[in-house]
Amino acid sequence: MTDIIGYLKSNLTTSFIGKEVHYLAIASSTQDIAREMADRGAPEGTAVIAGMQRSGRGRLGRSWLSPEGGLATSIILRPAMSAVPLLPAISALAVFRAIKHLGIKAGIKWPNDILIGGRKVCGILIEHTMVNGIVGYSIIGIGININFDTVLYPEIAASATSLSVELGHELPVEHVALRLYTELEDLYLLSENPEVILDEWAANMITIGSRVKVQSGNRDIEGIAEAINRSGHLLLRRDDGTVQEIVAGDVSIVPDSGKK
Ligand code: BTN
């Protein structure tokens, strides 16, 4: 699996994402390793990959299962303030495009989960470090289930899938990483055209038009996910007709609600 570094060094044509790339067979969390590197001045685009994580972290304080066969990677970005709100869309789209390239139809669940047939194949955790009141750097943490059978892991068996389950065969993790870093760089370089990014993100968002439950803080809010606004926030039409803007939260599609 350390071959992944050799493969990326020989084949990656990006100008900064993944140009510096570190591989660990096993790590606590690639987020923490990337953060230490960023603190020591690692250049923008530096990527960390782990073969397995002992303490993979998810959004909203959850853990992230990272067995062998997955791609667990964290990428250091040093974004302009204007690009920071676009990072969920950019990272979700990069994964979406990389999976589409394999011939698999996936969808994005707001803000940046990637699902295939309603099952999660990828989760993204974005963490920012503030320096003098502005974002000094952001760590984009991406976990993609690639070559393992999710059914063997009871904690995710009902809700997750993997690329090998969907394709019926395994595939080289390094091919997925190469495509992911390439798409991520292409999209990140488009940050000055937020409309292009937000439109493609919204167009592939399975959440839109569905009845959803949003867990935001310690509240559950239900309604129809109507649209994404220009800030990337979810607009939820509640049953009393009011529209609520959701900035962050965990969305689940209410079963059998169909699309409006
Ligand atoms: C989520 O869906 O809750 C986000 C999951 C993010 C997982 C990735 S794997 C690489 C990076 N390292 C971590 O500890 N978490 C992220």
* 45 falls within a domain: yes
**48 and 117 together in one domain:** yes
For a substitution probing ligand 1, which of 59, 66, 76, 127 has the most ligand atoms within 8 Å of its CB? 66
- 35 domain residue, yes or no: yes
Q: How confident is the model at residue 257 (pLDDT cuts 50, 70, 90)?
A: low
- Quick one: pLDDT at residue 72? 98
**CATH assignment at residue 235:** 2.30.30.100
The answer to whether residue 259 is domain-embedded is: no
What domain count does the chain have?
Answer: 2
| Res. 1 pLDDT band, cuts 50 70 90 | very low
Q: Verify whether ligand 1 is closer than 6 Å to residue 74 (CB atom).
A: yes
Residue 74 φ/ψ region, left for φ over 0, alpha for ψ in the -120 to 50 degree band, beta for the rest: beta
Q: Is 73 exposed, middle or buried (0-12, 13-18, 19+ CB in 10 A)?
A: buried
Q: 225 and 174: one domain?
A: no
CB–CB of 197/92 below 8 Å?
A: no
Which pLDDT band, with edges at 50, 70 and 90, does 132 fall under? confident
**Ligand 1 site, residue 123, Cβ cutoff 6 A:** yes
Task: State whether 152 and 84 are in the same domain.
Answer: yes
CB 179 near ligand 1, within 6 Å:
no
Backbone angles phi, psi at 184, to 5 degrees: -60, -45
pLDDT for res 245 = 95
| pLDDT of 222 higher than 60 | yes
The strand ranges marked E within the chain are 21-27, 47-53, 71-77, 107-109, 113-116, 119-131, 134-144, 211-216, 219-228, 234-237, 243-246, 250-253
Does residue 67's CB lie within 6 angstroms of at least one atom of ligand 1? no
Atom of ligand 1 nearest to the CA of 58: 3
**Claim to verify: residue 77 and residue 29 sit in the same structural domain:** yes
Site to probe by mutation for ligand 1, drawn from 57, 59, 115, 161 as the one with most ligand atoms within 8 Å of Cβ, is: 57
Cα 20 off chain centre by:
20
Identify the H or E element spanning 163. Answer: helix 163-167
More confident of the two residues 215 and 73: 73
**Closest by Cα among 178, 179, 148, 180 to 66:** 148
Domain extent for 221: 211-253
Q: Write the pLDDT tens digit of every residue in 113-128.
A: 999 999 999 999 999 9
pLDDT, residue 258, reads: 52
User: Would you state the pLDDT for residue 131?
Assistant: 85
Pairing label, strands 211-216, 219-228: antiparallel
CATH of the domain at 124: 3.30.930.10
Atom of ligand 1 nearest to the CA of 143: 9
What average pLDDT is seen over the chain?
95
Question: Cα dihedral angle (66, 71, 76, 77), rounded to 10 degrees?
Answer: -120
Atom of ligand 1 nearest to the CA of 59: 3
Atom of ligand 1 nearest to the CA of 50: 10
Q: Could you tell me the pTM of the whole model?
A: 0.95
Averaged over 15-42, what is the pLDDT?
Answer: 98
pLDDT tens sequence across 33-85: 999 999 999 999 999 999 999 999 999 899 999 999 999 999 999 999 999 99
Give the pLDDT of residue 216. 80
User: Do both 217 and 136 map to the same domain?
Assistant: no
Q: Based on the domain organization, do 166 and 70 belong to the same domain? A: yes
135 and 221 together in one domain: no
- Determine if ligand 1 sits within 6 Å of the CB of residue 145: no
User: How far apart are the CA of 47 and the centre of ligand 1, in A?
Assistant: 14
Q: Is the CB of 182 under 6 A from ligand 1?
A: no
For the CA of 73, the closest atom of ligand 1 is 10
